[in-house]
Amino acid sequence: MDPIAQRLIRLPDKVRKLEVEKILGRAGELCEEGKFRRAIVLYDSVLKIQPGNLDALIDKGVALQNTGKLRQALGCYQKALSIVPENTTALLNAGSVLHSFGRFDEAISYYDRVISADKKSAMAFAYRGLSLAEMGQIKEALRYFKKALAIDKDYDVAQISKELAEKILRQKN
């Protein structure tokens, strides 16, 4: 066991909880600074003593995804979903990894679960549109980009994707 986890185990429960929050905060700062590998070490320390810590699992997945370790990231998201099956953050992130693998139908099923839970998730609508576009369903993708923009008119991914879909459709006609 690493030194951080060893130190945490010896602390009283209340103090351990505060220390875990501090470690997760520091790991988040490291991610913001682009120091993903260092953040992963901290997430691992927390997960050694709290294997079901949802924040650590999801945030570690994000850090892994940012370092290109997509299979490991997907594993983190799936473990988080085994704890809280409808966690929208884990569902969105798992969907984005599946999209990266070219598993668009599976990605869409994750995005649909987010949309079922949160009808105002512009990201889920836009990501669903991206997967549909990759499958060649441009008209349907455009519908989802528009839905995302109806929720968040400034969402750049949806706006850029909508414009590109419209351009593709104009070229086909």
Same domain, yes or no, for 157 and 167?
yes
| pLDDT tens-place string over residues 125-161 | 999 999 999 999 999 999 999 999 999 999 999 999 9
**Domain end point (choices 31, 65, 85):** 85
Q: What is the pTM of this model?
A: 0.89
Same domain, yes or no, for 32 and 111?
no
Share of the chain above pLDDT 70, in %: 91
Furthest-apart CA atoms within the chain: distance in Å: 68
Same domain, yes or no, for 105 and 54?
no
CB 74 within 8 A of CB 82: no
Instruction: Please report, for the domain that includes residue 70, its CATH number.
Output: 1.25.40.10
| pLDDT tens-place string over residues 78-130 | 999 999 999 999 999 999 999 999 999 999 999 999 999 999 999 999 999 99
In this structure, what token pair is assigned to residue 51?
């294997």
Sort 68 into a burial class: Cβ within 10 Å, 0-12 / 13-18 / 19+.
exposed
